[in-house]
Amino acid sequence: MKVAAIQMVSGISLDANLSEARRLLTLAAHAGAELAVLPEYFCFMGQKDEDKLVLAETPGLGTVQDFLSDTARDLKISIVGGTLPMATDDPAHAANASLVYGPRGEVTSRYDKIHLFRYDNGVERYDEAAVLRAGETPTVFDFSARNSQVWRIGQSVCYDLRFGELYRLLAADVLLVPAAFTHTTGRAHWEVLLRARAIENQAYVIASAQGGLHENGRRTWGHTMVIDPWGEIMGLHAEGPGVVMAEFDMVRLLAVRQQLPALQHRRL
């Protein structure tokens, strides 16, 4: 299965972000990708957190959902739409939702980010719970590759990466981590956490990131990467827009799990 992890430096213009996403997705499709993963908030990085609420869409209705559906259908690939704000029954809070679209333009899965980021080092301050509502449901879906091999794919978003118990529940072959890690926390923890999730779950990881200096002044770490079940980095893009391509092999996955059957040795 050929996959693509897409890195962006999204700004405050929805149209510009969608145009850039289309360009990168087209590159991925032309390179043979069957599944392409966009980063968290690929569609919009506002001046302030409350700006997300203005763009919050309802299921099946909205510019970003139409874009993802049309692009998946046009390029004949499956697209994980990073995340986009989705409306809740509380107008002061949105869900940070990751929607998956199949090659016919249909929604095949939705995951709402469970763990909401809060950080304060005296200089940088973030509190996602101020405008976001946490999801509650760990989410997996089956993906049938072009060779008819079926992969169990587990969804997560950004800050979820710090909670290993979520990934144990997913029990997936492939773990998705669209993200917008801050430069500070990413430099310290991004790679080591991603490789740990791959190693302890003996799974492939696709980690698509925001990576650069944004119009709103925020700087994200980037370092989009794809990792194999042994924890080896298969491809990496450090900063700025780009596409990381990789090919997943079920034989490789099963060999790792057979040679070191750690998943069978769990006692807790």
* Residues designated catalytic: 40, 113, 158
What is the SS3 assignment for the chain? Answer: CEEEEEEECCCCCHHHHHHHHHHHHHHHHHCCCCEEECCCCCCCCCCCCCHHHHHCEECCECHHHHHHHHHHHHHCCEEECCCEEEECCCCCCEEEEEEEECCCCCEEEEEECCCCCEEECCCCEEEHHHCEECCCCCCEEEEECCCCCEEEEEECCHHHHHCHHHHHHHCCCEEECCECCEHHHHHHHHHHHHHHHHHHHCCEEEECEEEEECCCCCEEECCEEEECCCCCEEEEECCCCEEEEEECCHHHHHHHHHHCCHHHHCCC
